[in-house]
Amino acid sequence: MVRHFLCDDDLEKEDVERLLKLAGDLKARPIQPLLPNKTLAMIFAKPSTRTRVSFEVGISQLGGQGLYLGMNDIQLKRGETIADTAKTLSRYVDGIMARLFAHSDIVELAKYSSVPVINGLTDTWHPCQALADYLTIKEKKGKLEGLKLAFVGDGKNNVANSLIRLGAKLGVQVSIGAPKEYWPSKEITKGTKTKVTANPKEAVKGADVVYTDVWVSMGDEAEMAKRKAILKPFQVNGTLMRAAKKDAIFMHCLPAHRGEEVTSEVIDGKQSVVFDQAENRLHAQKALMVMLMR
Ligand code: CP
Ligand code: NVA
């Protein structure tokens, strides 16, 4: 059976642990021809810096090649169905990575694809981001089990959803500090020990990791003014960081908007690990491709 990675629950805990270990090996020895001559198609309906570059460089370091397919360049935009696109691409390539809007679209793509499909972000999930994030936390803190991660800001976006689900699997206590309008949905927190509060200070109290993301995700632009107003008290600044553990690290999936969800003082400060985190996208996704495409 073809294995896809559409959301965090698609990997068992043991798979994630194996993946994090392999990612560490690949970080130490980046050039290993584990996917010789394999091709990864990369469909992008939204812009990207990190996801595009890390997948393209990653597959090439593994001996294969990436094929960038912008939404304006393929027939999908002109009405070719997702099913026909999936069936066609499956005849040429060994894996498909897609960044789309509706999550149901990537589910449809996977349904008709006979090669593994990887979610490079949808409106609901950003599972590759969460893999790299927990790899980073493990490197910085030496463990995952028992740690507390506080996510402050838009608590119902794709990044928050993925951190909640994967964190629960790995024994990380995730706390969401968000205005009620942006609390995670019940389906996301179901079966997890996620704590949700409208008080950002309470969310970060005792946290080992303070995490935030943009207030206006790709696709949410129509709500920009409303979001910026409601989320303003949830900015991660020096005062909020001081309410976390002394040795807490600051994380952000990037791109960041300095002066909105985070101040320059914090993102450019000593506790910030955002570029180690960005680098780990490469190592984690290489491990993922090896696990799914070999
Ligand atoms: N974090 C992340 O996915 O970045 P890009 O949008 O640049 O790919
Ligand atoms: N939540 C953000 C993440 C970008 C990597 C978005 O969807 O735009």
Residue 49 Cβ < 6 Å to ligand 1: yes
The H or E element that residue 65 is part of is strand 65-70
Say whether both 122 and 244 belong to one domain: no
Nearest CA to ligand 1 atom 4: 50
Say whether both 122 and 261 belong to one domain: no
Say whether both 152 and 167 belong to one domain: yes
Entry pTM: 0.98
Say whether both 183 and 215 belong to one domain: yes
Average pLDDT over residues 243-260: 98
Residues 283, 27 contacting (CB under 8 angstroms): yes
Say whether both 144 and 26 belong to one domain: no
Q: Which two tokens stand for residue 113?
A: 């694809």
User: Of the residues 213, 252, 277, 285, which is catalytic?
Assistant: 213
Residue 190: predicted pLDDT: 98
Quote the ligand 2 centre to 216 CA distance (angstroms): 8
pLDDT at residue 260 above 90?
A: yes
Q: Does residue 196 sit in helix, strand or coil?
A: strand
Does residue 179 lie within any of the structural domains?
yes
Does residue 3 lie within any of the structural domains?
no
Does residue 1 lie within any of the structural domains?
no
Nearest CA to ligand 2 atom 8: 217
* Interatomic CA distance for residues 65 and 55, integer angstroms: 9
Does residue 243 lie within any of the structural domains?
yes
User: Of the residues 52, 99, 103, 252, which is catalytic?
Assistant: 99
At 267-293, the pLDDT tens digits run: 999 999 999 999 999 999 999 999 999
Does residue 220 lie within any of the structural domains?
yes
**Pick from 21, 10, 289: nearest CA to 169:** 10
At 159-215, the pLDDT tens digits run: 999 999 999 999 999 999 999 999 999 999 999 999 999 999 999 999 999 999 999
Domain that holds residue 57: 8-126+280-293
Nearest CA to ligand 1 atom 3: 51
Angle between helices 127-141 and 158-170 (to 10 degrees): 50
Sort strands 173-177 and 209-212 into parallel, antiparallel or unpaired: unpaired
Say whether both 155 and 33 belong to one domain: no
Does residue 89 lie within any of the structural domains?
yes
Residue 79: predicted pLDDT: 94
Count of domains forming the chain: 2
CATH assignment at residue 234: 3.40.50.1370
At 71-102, the pLDDT tens digits run: 999 999 999 999 999 999 999 999 999 999 99
Say whether both 151 and 269 belong to one domain: yes
Residue 218 Cβ < 6 Å to ligand 1: no
Q: Would you call 99 a catalytic residue per the annotation? A: yes
pLDDT at residue 1 above 90?
A: no
DSSP state of 183: P
Q: Which ligand is nearest the CA of 253, by number?
A: 1
Q: Which ligand is nearest the CA of 128, by number?
A: 1
* Interatomic CA distance for residues 269 and 149, integer angstroms: 19
Say whether both 81 and 153 belong to one domain: no
From the number of C-beta atoms within 10 Å of its C-beta (0-12, 13-18, 19+), residue 72 rates as exposed
Does residue 2 lie within any of the structural domains?
no
Q: Would you call 213 a catalytic residue per the annotation? A: yes
Q: Would you call 29 a catalytic residue per the annotation? A: no
Say whether both 232 and 95 belong to one domain: no
Residue 153: predicted pLDDT: 98
Q: Where are the alpha helices (DSSP H) in the chain?
A: 13-28, 50-61, 82-92, 103-111, 127-141, 158-170, 186-189, 200-204, 224-231, 238-241, 264-267, 274-293
Does residue 216 lie within any of the structural domains?
yes
User: Of the residues 4, 103, 126, 252, which is catalytic?
Assistant: 126
DSSP state of 185: P
Q: Would you call 227 a catalytic residue per the annotation? A: no
At 145-157, the pLDDT tens digits run: 999 999 999 999 9
Average pLDDT over residues 4-29: 98
| Average confidence score pLDDT of the chain | 98
Say whether both 104 and 147 belong to one domain: no
Say whether both 81 and 107 belong to one domain: yes
Say whether both 251 and 133 belong to one domain: yes
Q: Which two tokens stand for residue 130?
A: 């969460």
Average pLDDT over residues 64-73: 96
